[in-house]
Chain A
Amino acid sequence: MNSPRDLPQAQTADACIGQPLPRRGLERLLQGRGCYVDDLQPPRLAHAVMVRSPYAHARIVSIDVEPARRAPGVLAVATGRDMAGWCKPWVGTLATAPGMRSPPQHALAIDRVCWQGEPVAVVVAGTRAQAEDAAERVEVTWEPLPVVADELAALAPDARPVHPGDADNVCYRREVASGDVEQGFAAAAAVVSATLRTGRHTHVTLEPRAILADFNPADRQLTVWHASQVPHMMQWLLADQFGLPESQVRVIVPDVGGSFGLKIHVFGDEMAAVAMALQLGRPVKFVADRLESFQSDVHARGHRIEARMAVSAEGEILAFELDDVQTFGPYGCYPRAGTGEGNQVLNLAGAPYRNRHYRGRLRVAFQHKGMVGPYRAVGHPVACLATEVMLEQAARAVGVDPAQARRRNLVADDAYPWTLATGPVVEGLSQQASLDRLLQMMDYDGLRAAQARERARGVHRGIGLAHFVEMTSPSGRVYGAGGAPIASQDACMLRLTASGMVHCAVGITEFGQGAAMMVAQVAASGLGVPVERVRVLLGDTDVTPYGGGNWGSRGTGIGGEAVWLAARALRENLLAFAARVLGRPADALDLRGGEVVEREGGERHLSLEALARRAYFRPDLTPADITPELMVTRSFSQRAYGSVFSNGVHASHVEVDLDTGWVRLLRHWVVEDCGTVVNPLLVDEQIRGGVVQGLGAALYEEVLYGDEGQLLNGSLAEYLVPMAGEMPDIEVAHLHTPTRTSTLGAKGAGEAGVAGASAAVLNAVNDALAPFGAFLTEIPITPQRVLQALGKVPR
């Protein structure tokens, strides 16, 4: 299915869908003229600083804020008890996660803290330095309480519940089963099993979380500048939490310095800052510092999976079974709940392959640790790692080449729609073609031959592959049906200006992925105007149509389609009006290059500017039975499937130093199919950015806690992220299987880079170490873990 379907009709003269156009608006960022939340300094700005818990679990015996109130520059100090009167608590569960529980969570803890770093008081002062000084004067008497830190210990029958009154620490559990798993294991030529672990990772957006709230008591208007992916969702939630009419809340999203699924939640510290703006009637800003980010941003990916796979002598998967324990914090993050991660692991495990005999169990464990929530490619890398590591190990066990084993198991490209063993229906993928393309692109056979030669010279290189299935453009079945105020629809408002320009407002948001450029290209192509003519506006709830914002790779698949539909509708209106002005049949006309032209032959009739002037300024010359609508709004939501699935395959080439345990990344390849690509320049680096996050997860990143729930690495010197020097060149290729759920045919591409990268690296390392009988089952793959696997240092 790798041949492109006919692209939308306007793929003619000046259509720019598919063109690698440089991103507009980037000049501003390149010249340091961007504007992020922390760059804003409105008059009378005050700064909020949090007092946070030094303990993972403790009772707040007393808080004395008086010394802080008397400190220089302090405007207000509030505790959890004060806050509870202003902002109601929230509950981070979803109806679509049946049986999940989470107690109400307050913006600031009231009697008891449940993770180290949980905010307990907020200090507002004229400058941040003053607020920080004063925060140190807040005197809290703590009574430390027993800590549940380890996830397995949390699930033990005698474990002390994280929340008093609970019977256990199972926040959520789910089981899925299909086929005859026992029979598969009984018939196997080989059964492989392992306990796989993925570190707790976090987003590390370079710009930390930031919010600036201003309340004008005169008109009771709350304006919030927020580093957010979801302005309309935040508008709804702020109104709800603070009991304001939604119309009195405006959320503006300026430039955002990275998001990756972090900036879509309600965070207590941010709500506390908003509450203080409401109390003080002046602007209050809160920007997390890096330590606060590590403590209080949500984490993800902490899984411990018992996996088992049965294969035939030919490497065909006969049964697959996994038991996942997902680490969690003390609360489900609001409003997305945070169990999506484990659910996705169950849903996507084994997804690329035909096997029908599958059993999965998930348990999400409450712990006294930082909260857990969605991170780019929710659950995908974990599902992919479990599947792909087991598959390569199984292939090794029966002596089949791993690429060959995949070929024997992949769902055929002509077998779609395909129902996954776990339930979801997948519309159309190109796994086989992706594998072919990958093997050719990386010269798989050549690389294998070289590997054997190098081994003989004592150089230990490995090749690892990993197929992935990516969920994008979700329908309302997850969050909407779960009861969360999360729009799965998006809209575009498009109008012709008086000078013949096009003004385009959309509900999706920009945080660097190039959404605005995508919108401009789709609008220009749909209309038939040069892309320079399109001005794009997003990120302001007062001026953009209601929509879900950007998450779950929905920007192009859903937002882009709304833009396309609006552009086609406006085009029709324009041509109908031009037909009347010119006295020609509308279907004899076309819009190209911003001109009304004769469809056949292209003779130029009228510029858009002339048409706009005629419509806006000279209705007196226009027959009374036609009033052109030069502004249109179109909405789109994806309803055909739970998600629009994309797919692809990664390969990693690494070299392992047997003496130091050091893993060097040599090359990385990705073949990815996101259907119609609107702008390859943007998609390519989007994929690479994801790959680098996945490589970071594979080799460096892990949020570490001590036995007492103490965060051990709260700085960038200790939580390692990939820098340019360690990263390899990453080759990206695309196949195009457009989705039939939209005219545009575009699927999301945001998760693809992360989804398969870590698994490919782990497989490559295991491939390099296979001759020594070493088998790593854990990421990040630290030098120590490599040496342990080699038996060179004790475990």
Chain B
Amino acid sequence: MSTEPIESMTLRLQVNGEAVERPVAVRRHLADFLREDLGLTGTHVGCEHGVCGACTVRLDGRVVRGCLVLAVQADGASVQTIEGAADARMAALQAAFHRHNAAQCGFCTPAMLLTAADLLDRPDRPSREEIREHLSGNLCRCTGYQAIVDAVEATCRALQG
């Protein structure tokens, strides 16, 4: 049982291009900070132990697990969530997900999209196996993954020729 007062500090960062300044408990993880303090509920929490990937966000451009990063670790950084990921590539990916019915309950989906978007930046076109491998940190309990792989593959083909 810990009796020390809970420490907090003032956090300054960019979230989806907006400057944010907030006090935050040092023990709060980034996903909770985004969801509960900023109301950005597109980032989901499925396990809080780093396995399901539902909490995936971009931190300074790299995908990370929001439940494994403390909010204070993002001080000075730039964070992008699904709500702020609105470039043409993401739009193409989202459209492909829609076309292929690559989401059911949608709980895994924002994270799946952010993870998949990484593949669109590759110079070469990934194989189905590589796509499956790349998405292997994101649990989806509803789909059979196949529509997701199809959607990512189709987007890569469209964007990377």
Contact = CB atoms under 8 A, between A and B. Distances in A.
A204 B51 CA distance: 13
Nearest to A20: B101
A371 to B, nearest CB: 20
Contacts of B46: 206-208, 257, 290
A46 to B, nearest CB: 14
Interface stretch (B58-66, B69-77, B117-125, B131-139): B131-139
A255 interface: yes
B106 A30 contact: yes
Listed residue (A31, A36, A715, A722) with the most chain B CB atoms within 10 angstroms of its CB: A31
B7 interface: no
B105 A715 contact: no
A31 B16 CA distance: 13
B98 A32 contact: no
Interface in B27-44: 27-28, 35-36, 39-44
Interface in A10-47: 22-23, 26-36, 38-39, 41
A793 interface: no
Contacts of B48: 289-290
B83 interface: yes
Contact of B142 (A26, A30, A34, A512): A512
B94 interface: yes
Given A32-B81, A290-B48, A688 B147 contact: yes
A717 B51 contact: yes
Contacts of B104: 258, 511-514, 685-686, 689
Interface stretch (A158-166, A319-327, A360-368, A724-732): A724-732
A649 interface: no
B103 to A, nearest CB: 6
A23 B138 contact: no
A28 B41 CA distance: 12
Interface residues of B, number: 61
Interface string A511-524: 11110000000000
Given A22-B98, A39-B35, A717-B49, A32 B146 contact: no
Q: How large is the interface on A (under 10, 10 to 19, 20 to 34, 35 or more residues)?
A: 35 or more
Contact of B136 (A289, A693, A716, A725): A725
Residue of A513, A688, A753 with most partner-chain B CB within 10 A = A688
B101 A682 contact: yes
B14 interface: no
A721 interface: yes
B133 A725 contact: yes
B157 interface: no
Contacts of A681: 100-101
A208 B27 CA distance: 22
Contacts of A753: 144
Interface in A667-683: 681-682
Contact of B44 (A257, A260, A511, A693): A257
A653 to B, nearest CB: 16
Given A258-B141, A514-B101, A30 B107 contact: no
Interface in A227-267: 255-260
A390 to B, nearest CB: 28
Contacts of A689: 104, 141-144
Contacts of B15: none
Contacts of B35: 38-39
A692 B136 CA distance: 14
Interface in A751-776: 753
Q: Shortest 10 CB-CB distances between A and B: which pairs? A: A32-B42, A688-B144, A29-B106, A512-B105, A257-B107, A512-B104, A32-B82, A725-B136, A39-B41, A716-B51
Interface of B: 1-2, 6, 25, 27-28, 35-36, 39-52, 54, 81-83, 94, 97-110, 113, 128, 131-133, 135-149
